[in-house]
Amino acid sequence: MNSLPPIGITQDIFDHICENIADKGYVVLHNLFPIAELNHLVDNLSQMDTAEFKPAAIGRQKDQQVVEAIRSDRICWLDRTMDFASPYFDWSEQLRLAINRYFFLGLFDYETMFAYYEPGAFYKRHVDAFKGQSNRKLTSILYLNREWQQGDGGELLMYRHDESAPFEIVEPRFGTMVIFLSELFPHEVCQSHKDRYSLTGWYRINEGIPLD
C-alpha cells in the first residue's frame, strides 16, 4: 500500500505535550493525527493475523498463567521496516527530539507494539516501569477504535500512587492519544467488550550512560 505524506508536525503540539508532561506528568490528546493517517494505520494493521500475535508478557515473567491473570491482550512489535507505519515512527522520532530538547533529556529510543484486546480481555492495574529497574521513561498510547462508544469497555483508568479511585478515565476512541511518565502512574485497562486496538510505545533512556 502507498504510504502517506509525513504527519503535519507543528512545534505548538510538541510544546503542548512537553508543557503538560512537565506540569502534570501526562497529557491526553484528541484528533492529533489526520483521519487519513489513522485509517492508513488501521487498514494495514488489521491485515495482520491477530491469531499469530504473542500473548503479552510482563517484565521477565515467564509463568504464562500468572501473566494471563493480569493481562489478556495479544501483541505484535512493530519495526521500522513496516513502510505503512513510517509516518507514525517519524512523528514519534520528532517527539523524542522535542522532549530531549525541552527536558535536556537523553531519550534514546522508541519501541512500539500493536496491541489487540479481544472481547473479554483486560490489563489489571500496573505500572510500566519501576524506578531504577527499567529504562522506560515515557509511555504513549494511540487508540485505533473507529466505532468505540460508551458501553464498549476497554477504558484506560489512571491512578495516583495507591489511590483507589482513578483521577483520569481515557476512552479508547479513534485517534485519542495519551502520553505519560512511565514510572508515575499506576493504570489499568477495563475489560473490553469489543475488539480493541492500540499502538503502545515507550521512550527509553540509556541508564548506562552517565548524564553528568
Residues that bind ligand OGA (CB under 6 A): 115, 123, 128, 141, 156, 187, 189, 198, 200
Residues 6+ apart with CB under 8 A from 64: 55
Q: List helix spans (H) across 57-192.
A: 64-70, 86-103
Integer Cα distance of 209 and 84 in angstroms: 33
Range in contact with Mn ion (rule: CB under 5 A) among 12-20, 50-58, 125-133, 149-157: 125-133
Helix axes 35-45, 86-103, angle to 10 degrees: 120
Task: Return the one option of Mn ion, ligand OGA, none that residue 17 interacts with (CB less than 5 to 8 A, by type).
Answer: none
CB closer to Mn ion, 92 vs 198: 198
CB 179 within 8 A of CB 29: yes
Query: Which cell numbers hold the place of 10?
Result: 507543528
Q: Which does 156 bind (CB under 5 to 8 A by kind): ligand OGA, Mn ion, none?
A: ligand OGA
Q: Which of 128, 155, 183, 188 binds Mn ion (CB under 5 A)?
A: 128
> Which positions ≥6 away from 162 have C-beta within 8 Å?
186
**Which part of the chain contacts Mn ion (CB under 5 A), choosing from 6-14, 20-28, 81-89, 124-132?**
124-132
Give 21 or 189: the residue with its C-beta nearer to ligand OGA.
Answer: 189
Q: Which residues bind Mn ion (CB under 5 A)?
A: 128
